Amino acid sequence: MRNIVLTGLPGSGKTTLGLAAAELAGLDFRDMDAEIERAAGMSVSEIFAAWGEARFREMETEEARRAAEATGAVISTGGGVVLREDNMRLLAKNGFIIFIDRDPTAIAGDVECAGRPLLAEGAARLFGISKERRPLYLKSAHAALANDGGFQEALGKLMLLVNGEHPGKGFGVIGDPIGHTRSPEIHKAVFAAHGLGLAEGSGDAAAWDYKAMHVKRGGLGAFVRAARESGLRGFNVTIPHKQDIMDFLDDIDEEARLCGAVNTVVIKEGRLTGHNTDMGGLQEAIRDAGFDYGGSRVTVLGTGGAAAGVAYKAAACGAARVRALGRRKERAEALAANVRRVAPGIAEEAGADMGTGAGKRGGLARRGEVLGLEMSPDALAEAAADTDILVNATPLGMEGAGDFESLGFLEALPRGALVCDLVYGRSKTALLKKAEEIGIKGINGLGMLVYQALLADELYMGRTLDRRRVAATIIGRFSR
């Protein structure tokens, strides 16, 4: 693994950005100046005072040689490292060098930098150094990262680079947190099954690479700008960005617009188009289990992005009744009202009246109903008794997210019902175990995850795939 080597002026953010990036990516962090200080037993200023700059530069080259031996580390360099070409040659051997380009005026005005020895001599010295070194930073770097916005913006750009997403390459998934994601395994398996991205070191391998990329809330704008510039070919989107990403796209397809969430973005000729393959993915997994939304009574637990998509898709596919149960009643009601407004099947059947809003049951009764309810024990039991397909679209059951207080409501389900738990971290959540115990069929979120990835890959690859066959292989491998 190549090192990520950060260069730039003192105060440009090399150490703070480097530390944060190393932590997010699970890499080692090395601060060259701190290593020199540790070895010498004195600070850089003391070394300068005692032995002079020439000796310090010798020590810096020795440290560059040691640092270059590292693999997969984020290395923060001293501001003057570029003064010796030898240093940069050493660091470039196994390093991707990123110049953190921060305006000296911003550094001089930054209270965090006020105590730096360089600024003690006045801002004029910093401007002089910048004039002398900027050409050297630019010349020796593989990429320049403009640190001209906030910290999160710079970190978003850096993460894209840290994850190997520099010009002209591959795919990935963005989210926060992102450590748990299985998307890289799945997409790489799909690409490999179609002979793509196999030759290590070739252009094809890079073009079909797939990485997890940690993008924090608020970092989306910076990420999208960097993605456009880098030549990234597409990316998947997970919590918490599925709704927010829509503000940054050039086009959004109809299903994603109606679901109110995007999980797949295709980048072509600089344009970003958003799609939603989650709901199609779940539908495929439900079909694999021998069920269909058409004519079914569907109950979804949760009122977030996934729940809204399930409710919309079920309604659009002609479900006999759709209930959304949430811990906040107003959110459940809003979700149901929105589905009643947008689901094409309902609007069509109900006529012009139904297109205008909730509550006009006359039209809906012919086709079905979409209801939003509070997730109380009574409402759960009542809904379960009138359900063919129950979908858990809350994080309950996910490791660390808590669990249902009681699963007694499952007893009310008709025996021929299906329970789908979108949680995919564990093969059997408490919900699925209980369903099995009482003889009700259950599926976890893995099928949905794999199918949504396959549908995304069809968009990335521009062709239809033998989804059932590939999904069966991947699900089989992951379930072992």
Provide the minimum distance between the beta carbon of 438 and ligand NAP in the complex, in angstroms, as a whole number: 22
Q: Identify the residue among 302, 363, 372, 442 touching ligand NAP (CB under 6 A).
A: 302
Alpha-carbon torsion, ordered 301, 260, 258, 178, to 10 deg:
-80
Backbone angles phi, psi at 30, to 5 degrees: -135, 125
Backbone angles phi, psi at 97, to 5 degrees: -95, 125
Q: Identify the residue among 396, 418, 419, 420 touching ligand NAP (CB under 6 A).
A: 396
- In this complex, which beta carbon is closest to ligand NAP, that of residue 69 or of residue 330? 330
Residues in 339-368 at the binding interface with ligand NAP, rule: CB under 6 A? none
Please tell me the distance from the alpha carbon of residue 88 to that of residue 106, in angstroms, as a whole number.
26
Provide the minimum distance between the beta carbon of 396 and ligand NAP in the complex, in angstroms, as a whole number: 5
- In this complex, which beta carbon is closest to ligand NAP, that of residue 74 or of residue 307? 307
> Residue 126's closest CA among 6, 7, 13, 11?
11
Provide the minimum distance between the beta carbon of 325 and ligand NAP in the complex, in angstroms, as a whole number: 9
Residues 304-333, mask of contacts with ligand NAP (x by CB under 6 A): xxxx------------------xxx--x--
Give the CA distances from residue 389 to residues 61, 190, 297, 381, in Å, rounded to whole numbers and listed in that order.
Answer: 66, 29, 6, 14
Provide the minimum distance between the beta carbon of 372 and ligand NAP in the complex, in angstroms, as a whole number: 11
- In this complex, which beta carbon is closest to ligand NAP, that of residue 116 or of residue 327? 327
Residues in 22-61 at the binding interface with ligand NAP, rule: CB under 6 A? none
- In this complex, which beta carbon is closest to ligand NAP, that of residue 156 or of residue 281? 281
Does position 394 interact with ligand NAP (CB under 6 A)? The reply is yes
Please tell me the distance from the alpha carbon of residue 440 to that of residue 43, in angstroms, as a whole number.
68
Provide the minimum distance between the beta carbon of 207 and ligand NAP in the complex, in angstroms, as a whole number: 25
Residues in 232-251 at the binding interface with ligand NAP, rule: CB under 6 A? 239, 242
What stretch of H or E contains 214?
A: strand 210-214
Number of chain residues interacting with ligand NAP (CB under 6 A): 26
DSSP, residue by residue, 13-53: SHHHHHHHHHHHHT-EEEEHHHHHHHHHTS-HHHHHHHH-H
Provide the minimum distance between the beta carbon of 305 and ligand NAP in the complex, in angstroms, as a whole number: 4
Please tell me the distance from the alpha carbon of residue 75 to that of residue 5, in angstroms, as a whole number.
5
CA atoms within 13 A on the CB side of 292: 4
SS (H, E, C) 329-388: HHHHHHHHHHHHHHCHHHHHHHCHHHHCCCCCHHHHHHHCEEEEEECCHHHHHHHHCCCC
242 is catalytic: yes
Provide the minimum distance between the beta carbon of 47 and ligand NAP in the complex, in angstroms, as a whole number: 52
Does position 278 interact with ligand NAP (CB under 6 A)? The reply is yes
Which one of 137-145, 158-166, 382-390, 394-402 is the stretch in contact with ligand NAP (CB under 6 A)?
394-402
**Spatial CB neighbours of 121, under 8 Å, sequence gap ≥ 6:** none
Does position 372 interact with ligand NAP (CB under 6 A)? The reply is no
- In this complex, which beta carbon is closest to ligand NAP, that of residue 231 or of residue 425? 425
Which one of 165-173, 299-307, 337-345, 376-384 is the stretch in contact with ligand NAP (CB under 6 A)?
299-307
What stretch of H or E contains 394?
A: none
Q: Identify the residue among 91, 97, 311, 393 touching ligand NAP (CB under 6 A).
A: 393
- Order of all β-strands in the sheet with 73-76: 28-31, 73-76, 3-7, 95-101, 143-146
Does position 377 interact with ligand NAP (CB under 6 A)? The reply is no
Please tell me the distance from the alpha carbon of residue 165 to that of residue 229, in angstroms, as a whole number.
10
Provide the minimum distance between the beta carbon of 448 and ligand NAP in the complex, in angstroms, as a whole number: 4
Q: Identify the residue among 76, 303, 338, 429 touching ligand NAP (CB under 6 A).
A: 303
Q: Identify the residue among 213, 398, 413, 474 touching ligand NAP (CB under 6 A).
A: 398
> Residue 298's closest CA among 271, 275, 276, 325?
325
Task: Name the closest residue to ligand NAP (Cβ).
Answer: 304
Question: CA Rg, the chain, in Å?
Answer: 27
> Residue 61's closest CA among 85, 34, 31, 37?
85
**CA triplet 192, 447, 444: central angle to 5 degrees?**
140
- In this complex, which beta carbon is closest to ligand NAP, that of residue 163 or of residue 452? 452
- In this complex, which beta carbon is closest to ligand NAP, that of residue 130 or of residue 263? 263
Provide the minimum distance between the beta carbon of 462 and ligand NAP in the complex, in angstroms, as a whole number: 23
- In this complex, which beta carbon is closest to ligand NAP, that of residue 100 or of residue 325? 325
> What's the one-letter identity of residue 375?
M
Distance between alpha carbon 415 and the CA centroid of its chain, in Å? 38
Residues in 416-455 at the binding interface with ligand NAP, rule: CB under 6 A? 422-424, 445, 448-449, 452
Catalytic residue among 14, 211, 242, 434: 242
Does position 402 interact with ligand NAP (CB under 6 A)? The reply is yes
Does position 288 interact with ligand NAP (CB under 6 A)? The reply is no
Please tell me the distance from the alpha carbon of residue 126 to that of residue 108, in angstroms, as a whole number.
8
What stretch of H or E contains 448?
A: helix 446-461
Active site residues: 242
- Binding positions for ligand NAP, rule: CB under 6 A: 239, 242, 278, 302-307, 326-328, 331, 393-396, 398, 402, 422-424, 445, 448-449, 452
